[in-house]
Copies of this chain bind each other. A is one copy, B any other.
Amino acid sequence: MAGRGKLGVIAGGGALPLRIVEGCTRRGEGVCVIRLAGCADAALTAFPGEDCGLGEAGRIIEALRREGCERVVLAGLVRRPNFKSLRLDWRGAALLPRVVAAAARGDGALLDLLVAELAAEGFRVVGAQEALDELAAPAGVMGAYAPSADDLADMRKAAALIAALGPFDAGQGAVVAGGLVLAVEAAEGTDAMLARCASAPVPQGAARSARGVLVKRPKPGQDRRIDMPTVGIETVRRAHAAGLAGIAVEADGALVIDAAETIAEADRLGLFLYGFDPEETHAP
């Protein structure tokens, strides 16, 4: 696939950038990794690329162009600019006022700005699932366990709630248990949301010990090339610690990192992993 040209990977925190880089390398595709200071995984230094501050927009664009990257993926991006690791260059400084204004409106606005800037420079910005198609969540039951009718009802409610929050650029996750909204995700992220579910009062009268569904899906109208919801082994472990029955994500609207290991862990802990069609989430 050398004909596609090198893939530029602007790498933030978490496991996603490394998985993409490893996957492309395995398939013989070249990469240029822009390791963002203060968040990129140290293991990424084994691959060709550069360490940059998020504010070095000029240097980032120059490096991507010099290496002949036509496609660029933003993966595991920092969610809020940290001024200590920005390392502004002239180009970054020129962008800064718009970055600050966008950051204040929410993560979605900030990422839309970055994508527009890269596109204006002639790069084709692709989603993580296009860069490495094994990441996209499939439809249906992924592991050994399937959601019950009650679980599907909880899933539909959480999915509809996330859709209703779309205009507020608030979050991509919610937990519903036995019809009760246990938690709604905002700036704190999925891990913190699951942590508080672990100490939440469980609805009484539940016939099962494990109850409740974590749902993650993109915001309505969200650009699918950036900031896709992700789940992985840690998500499964935290959902289990929170006493949930399973995890549902929108098929093709979320990334499953290390899918084989993640599904194996869900099987081991007795949780279902389910990819839903958006059509399924309408109330019956």
**B170 and A205 form a contact (CB under 8 A):** no
Query: How many residues on A have C-beta within 8 angstroms of the other chain's C-beta atoms?
Result: 39
Q: Mark A67-103, 1 if CB is under 8 A from B, else 0.
A: 0000000000001111100000000000000001001
Query: A residues bordering B, Cβ < 8 Å?
Result: 79-83, 100, 103-106, 157, 160-161, 164-165, 167-171, 174, 178-188, 192, 196, 200-201, 203-205
Query: Does the CB pair B184–A192 fall under 8 Å?
Result: no
Q: How far is the CA of A178 from the CA of B104 in the complex (A)?
A: 6
Cβ–Cβ < 8 Å partners of A181 in chain B: 106, 168-171, 186-187
Q: Is the CB of A183 within 8 A of B178?
A: no
Contact status B187-A180, CB under 8 Å: yes
Is B180 within 8 A of A104, CB to CB?
yes
Point out the residue from B80, B81, B164 that lies within 8 Å of A165, measured CB to CB. Answer: B164
Are A188's CB and B183's CB within 8 A?
yes
Do residues A203 and B103 form an inter-chain contact, with CB atoms below 8 A? yes
